[in-house]
Structure 1
Amino acid sequence: MTRRSLAARLALLFACLSFAVLAAVGAVLYQSLARQLADRDDAALVARVEQIRALLQDTDLIALIHQKPRLFSNMLGNREALLVLRFPGQAPLIEVNPSHTPVPRVMPLRTNAPLGLDDVRHAAEHGDIPFSVLAVTTPISGAPQDLEIVAGRLMSERSRVLRAYRNEILLVASSGACLLAFLAWWGARRGLSPLRALARQTASIGVRNLSTRIEQRGAPRELAPLIDGVNGMLERLERSFTQLSQVSADMAHDLRTPIGNLLGQTEVALGQRRDVAYYEKLLGSNFEELQRLSKMTDNMLFLARADNADNAIERKLLPLADELQRMVDYFEGVAEEREVRIAVSGDGQVWADQTLLRRALGNLLANAVRYADAGSVIVLTATAHTAGVEISVENRGPTIPPQHLARIFDRFYRADPARADSASSSGLGLSIVRSIMTLHQGRWQASSNDGLTRFTLGFPPQPR
C-alpha cells in the first residue's frame, strides 16, 4: 500500500475543509436568497389581492367583467399566475389560469384587515415546484353574498434561479477547494523543504565524518529542537565511536603483552629439552599471565553488563563503619608491604549494593596503595549529609596532571603514557568505579594537588 506524502495529506485535508467551509457558506447564502425571493413573491401576491379587493369594493363587478375582460389577467402580469373570482357554490365569474394549474382547495380568509405574508399558503406542484396561494372573501356592492378571491402563483422562475444559484455554489466550492488544495500542497512542499535538507545532511553523515554537525542557520525555529537533538546524538555517537576505537586499541595493546609473553616463553621452552625446575618456573609464569587475562576478561564482562540500562542492582542500607573497616582489613597486608598505613573515619549508613560498593572501594584502595609514598597514610573517610553519603580515598604520592584527571575514569586510560605499570594494572579499575556509581545514580570525582590525590564517591540518599 502506497503511503501518501505529508504534503499530499495536508493538501487533501485542506481541500476537504475548504470545500466544507465554502459549501456551508454557500448553503447559508442559498437559504437567505431563497427566503428573500419567497418573501418578495408572497408580498407581490398579497399586493395584487389587496389591489383586486380594493377595486371590487367600488366597482360593479358584472359591468367591469363585460367592459374590461382582460383587466384581471393584465393585473397578474405572469403566465404562471392564477386568479379565480367566484361566489361560494357557483361557477367562477373569472378564471385566469394560463398554466392550467389545478385550483387548490383553500379555506378563504374572512377579514377586512390588511393582509400579511403569513396569510399566504404554500404547496408543491409539478415536480416539487413551489406554489403560493392566497384566498380571501370581500363584499361586493349589490351582491347578496361576499365574493371569493383565489390568487396564486407557480414559482417555476424562482426555482430555476435557485437551482442555477445552487449549481454555481457547488462549482465555486469545488473550484475553490481544488485551488486551495493546490496552494496547500505547494505551500507544504515549500514549508517542508528545510526538513528535506535536514534529511539530506543527516544521510551524508557516516563513520568517516561523525564530527559533522547540522547547521541551524536558515532553519525554521520549529526544527531547532530536532537539529539540537540530532547534533547531540552525533556528538554522543562520535564520542562513543572514538572511545570504542580507543578501547579496542588499548585492549589489543594490553592483550598483546601477556599473549606475547606466553608465546615467547613457550617457544623458548620448546626449542630444546629442559629440566623439571625450568618447566615448573615456566608454568608459574604462564599461570600469572593467564590470571591477568582472566582478570581483564572479567572486568570487561562486568563493564558490558554495567553499561546495560536494564541492569538492576540490589540496594540496601549498609553500616559504613563495618564496610570501611572490612576494606581496611582486606588491604592491611598489601599496605604493610608498601610501607603505608590506612586510616579510616566515618559512621552512619549508605544506600548501596554491598557487592558493588566493596568492589568500587577496593579499586580505589588498590590504586591508593599502589601509588602512595612509602611511610605515608591513606585516609578513608565517609561523610553523611542531607544530599547523601560521600566516601573519599586520599593518599600522598605523584600529582596527577590536570589534563589526565578529566579522562582518568575512561577505560584503559593511564596517566602514565609509557604504561610503566601495565604489568600490574589493566586500566579498567577506575572505569569500573564510574560504572558502579552510574548504576547508583551517584557522583564520582578526582582531584590532585601538591602530591595529595583524592577520589570521592557520592551516593544518593535512600528514597522515602
Structure 2
Amino acid sequence: MKRLSLTSRLTLSLAVLVMLVMATVGYALYRTLEQQLIIRDDGALITRVEQIRTLLLNEDVMTLIHDKPGLFANMLGNTESLLVLRFPDGTPLMEVNPGRSPIPRITPVPAGAPLTLAAVHHAVTADGIPFISASALANISRAPYQVTITTGRLMSERTRTLAMYRNQIILVATAATWLTALLAWFFIRRGLTPLRRLAAETASMDIHYLSRRIGITRAPSELRQLIEAFNSMLERLEINFRQLSQVSADMAHDLRTPIGILLGQTEVAMRFKRDTDYYENLLGSNFEELQRLARMIDNMLFLARAGDAGHAIERAALPLTAEFGRLSDYFEGPAEERGLTLACERNGATVWADPELLRRALANLLANAVHYADTGTAIVLRAEQRPEGTTISVENAGPDIAPHHLERLFDRFYRADASRAGDAGASGLGLSIVRSIMVLHQGRWHAQSGKRRTRFSLFFPAKPA
C-alpha cells in the first residue's frame, strides 16, 4: 500500500480538524437554538392559558362562547392548535381542534396555582413531530364555577425551522471542509518548496561534489538545523574521503617499495645460476622485506578493527612500575645499538587500561624515540597520576618537529620528514595505532617539540567510581 505524501497527510489532518470544529460549533448552535425555540413555544402556550383564565372571569365571555365559538378558533391562529373547555363533570363547553389532534389526558393545574414552564407536557407524534400541551382549572362566574382549560399545539413549523437550520449547518461545514482542504493543499505544497529544493540539492551530490555545501540563507528556520547538520556531515565525509584517498595512495606507495625490492632481487637471481651463499643472502633479504609487509598488513588490520565502534577492550588497574620495567628490558638492546639510555620515572603510579593495548602504544612511542633520538642521549619514560587520570609521556632529544607537522603526526602514513619514507621497518602507522588505542580508552594524545626535545604524552582516564 502506497503511503500518503506529507502534503496529503497535512491536508487531510487540517480538513478533518476543520470538519470536527465546524461540526462541534454547528451542533452547539443547533442545540442552543432548539432550546430557545422550546422555551419560546412553552412560554407562548402558558401565556395562552393565562389569557383564557382571565377572559373566563368575564360573564360576557361565557355568553360569547355559546354564541360565537369561532372567535376562539381565530384566536388560536393556526390549524395545528387545539383548545378544549370542559366542566369538571366532563361536559364539553367548547372544543376547537381543526387539525384533529388527539386531546391529551393530563392533570390540570389548580385554579389558584401559578402556571410555569413545568406545567407544559412534551410528546412526539407517530410522524416524529413534537406536540406540546398544558391544562389548568379556571374560575368562572356561574355554576359550577370552574372550567378545565386544555390547550396544545403541534410543532411542525419549529421542526421545519430546525431541519432547515441543520441542513444549512451541514452544508456550511462541508463547504468549509472542502475549501480548507483545497487551500491547505495549495499552501502546504507551496510551503514545502524549500524541502523539495533541499531534496533536489542533496540528490545532485555525489562523490565528486563533496566540497559543495547547501545554502542556508534562503532556508526557513525550521530547516536550518537540518541543513547545518547535513553540511557538517558533508564536511566530515569530505575529510574522511580525502584521508581515505591519501591513505590508499600512501599504502600503495609503501607496499610498492618492498614488493619492488622482492621482484627486482628475484629477477636478478633468475637471470644466472648463483651459488648457495648468494641464494641464502637473497632469501634473508626477502625474509626481511616480507616481515615488513606482514607488519604493515597487521597494523592495517589492527586499525580497521580499532575503528569499529563495537571493538571491546578489557581494562584493569596496571602498576606502571612493572610495565615500565618490561618495556625497558625489551628496548634495552635496540637503545644500546644507538648509544641511548632509558630512564624511567615510575612514582608508583597505576593506570586504568587494557594491558596489551597499553604495551603496544608505549612500544610504538619508544620505538619512534629510539629511531629518531640523538646518539648518546637519554629517553625518559615518565608517569604522572592525578585524580582524573594518569598521564604517560615518552621524551627524547632530537631534531625539532615543525608545528604544522605536529598536528598530523598521528595520521596514517604521515611522516614529518619525507626523506625517511624509505626507512626500513617504518610504515607510518605507529603513531596512528597509538591514536586508535587512545580513542578506545576515551583518552587524549598530544605531541610537543622544541629546543631539540620531543615529547609524546598519553592521558588515560581514571576508573569510574
TM-score (norm 2): 0.97
Shift of 1:91: 4.2
Deviations 1:213-240 (A, max 9, x none): 1111121222222112111111111111
* Counterpart Cα distance in 2 of 1:155 and 1:127: 11
Superposed, which structure 2 residues align to 1:197-346 within 5 Å? 197-346=197-346
Range with bigger deviation, 255-264 or 53-62: 53-62
Deviations 1:256-285 (A, max 9, x none): 011111111111111011111111111011
* Counterpart Cα distance in 2 of 1:421 and 1:326: 30
Shift of 1:169: 0.7
* Counterpart Cα distance in 1 of 2:145 and 2:55: 17
Shift of 1:186: 2.3
Superposed, which structure 2 residues align to 1:439-450 within 5 Å? 439-450=440-451
The aligned amino acid for 2:330 is Y
The aligned amino acid for 2:308 is N
Which residue number corresponds to residue 394 of structure 1?
A: 395
* Counterpart Cα distance in 2 of 1:14 and 1:373: 78
Shift of 1:307: 0.4
* Counterpart Cα distance in 1 of 2:456 and 2:349: 20
The aligned amino acid for 2:21 is V
Range with bigger deviation, 294-303 or 7-16: 7-16
The 3-state SS of whatever aligns with 1:374 is coil
Superposed, which structure 2 residues align to 1:51-70 within 5 Å? 51-60=51-60, 62-70=62-70
User: Any runs of at least 4 consecutive aligned residues in structure 1 with deviations exceeding 4 A, and if so which?
Assistant: none
The answer as to whether partners of 1:48 and 1:75 remain within 8 angstroms in 2 is: no
The answer as to whether partners of 1:350 and 1:389 remain within 8 angstroms in 2 is: yes
Range with bigger deviation, 378-387 or 427-436: 378-387
* Counterpart Cα distance in 1 of 2:4 and 2:58: 79
Which residue number corresponds to residue 359 of structure 1?
A: 360
Which residue number corresponds to residue 459 of structure 1?
A: 460
The 3-state SS of whatever aligns with 2:438 is helix
Shift of 1:106: 0.9
The 3-state SS of whatever aligns with 1:418 is helix
* Counterpart Cα distance in 2 of 1:301 and 1:231: 31
Which residue number corresponds to residue 176 of structure 2?
A: 176
Deviations 1:368-415 (A, max 9, x none): 010000111111100001220000111111111111111110111111
The aligned amino acid for 1:185 is W
Deviations 1:112-167 (A, max 9, x none): 24322221111111422111101011122112252111011000000000011011
Q: Is 1:406 equivalent to 2:407 in the alignment? A: yes
The answer as to whether partners of 1:108 and 1:137 remain within 8 angstroms in 2 is: yes
The aligned amino acid for 1:414 is R
Shift of 1:111: 3.0
Deviations 1:85-104 (A, max 9, x none): 11134342221112111111
Which residue number corresponds to residue 425 of structure 2?
A: 424
The aligned amino acid for 1:252 is A
The answer as to whether partners of 1:129 and 1:156 remain within 8 angstroms in 2 is: yes
The 3-state SS of whatever aligns with 1:407 is coil
The answer as to whether partners of 1:60 and 1:141 remain within 8 angstroms in 2 is: no
The aligned amino acid for 2:343 is A
Which residue number corresponds to residue 433 of structure 1?
A: 434
Deviations 1:51-102 (A, max 9, x none): 1111111125552123322111111112111111111343422211121111
The 3-state SS of whatever aligns with 1:84 is strand
Question: C-alpha root-mean-square deviation of aligned residues, in Å?
Answer: 1.3
* Counterpart Cα distance in 2 of 1:132 and 1:405: 100
* Counterpart Cα distance in 1 of 2:169 and 2:254: 83
* Counterpart Cα distance in 2 of 1:228 and 1:184: 29
Shift of 1:107: 1.0
The 3-state SS of whatever aligns with 1:212 is coil
Q: How many residue pairs end up in the alignment?
A: 464
* Counterpart Cα distance in 2 of 1:208 and 1:150: 96
The answer as to whether partners of 1:15 and 1:180 remain within 8 angstroms in 2 is: yes
Q: Is 1:14 equivalent to 2:2 in the alignment? A: no
The aligned amino acid for 2:59 is T
The 3-state SS of whatever aligns with 1:398 is coil
The answer as to whether partners of 2:415 and 2:421 remain within 8 angstroms in 1 is: no
The answer as to whether partners of 2:109 and 2:115 remain within 8 angstroms in 1 is: no
> Which stretches in structure 1 are left out of the alignment for 5+ residues?
none
The aligned amino acid for 1:136 is A
* Counterpart Cα distance in 1 of 2:391 and 2:183: 64
* Counterpart Cα distance in 2 of 1:450 and 1:222: 53
Which residue number corresponds to residue 134 of structure 2?
A: 134
* Counterpart Cα distance in 1 of 2:289 and 2:69: 136
The 3-state SS of whatever aligns with 2:419 is coil
The 3-state SS of whatever aligns with 1:93 is strand
Which residue number corresponds to residue 122 of structure 2?
A: 122
The aligned amino acid for 1:81 is S
The answer as to whether partners of 2:86 and 2:148 remain within 8 angstroms in 1 is: yes
> Which stretches in structure 2 are left out of the alignment for 5+ residues?
none
* Counterpart Cα distance in 1 of 2:292 and 2:25: 84
* Counterpart Cα distance in 1 of 2:462 and 2:182: 61
Which residue number corresponds to residue 373 of structure 1?
A: 374
The aligned amino acid for 1:288 is E
Shift of 1:322: 1.0
The aligned amino acid for 2:163 is R
The 3-state SS of whatever aligns with 1:148 is strand
Range with bigger deviation, 88-97 or 162-171: 88-97
Range with bigger deviation, 9-18 or 104-113: 104-113
The answer as to whether partners of 2:55 and 2:61 remain within 8 angstroms in 1 is: no
* Counterpart Cα distance in 2 of 1:422 and 1:168: 93
Percent identity among equivalent residues?
60
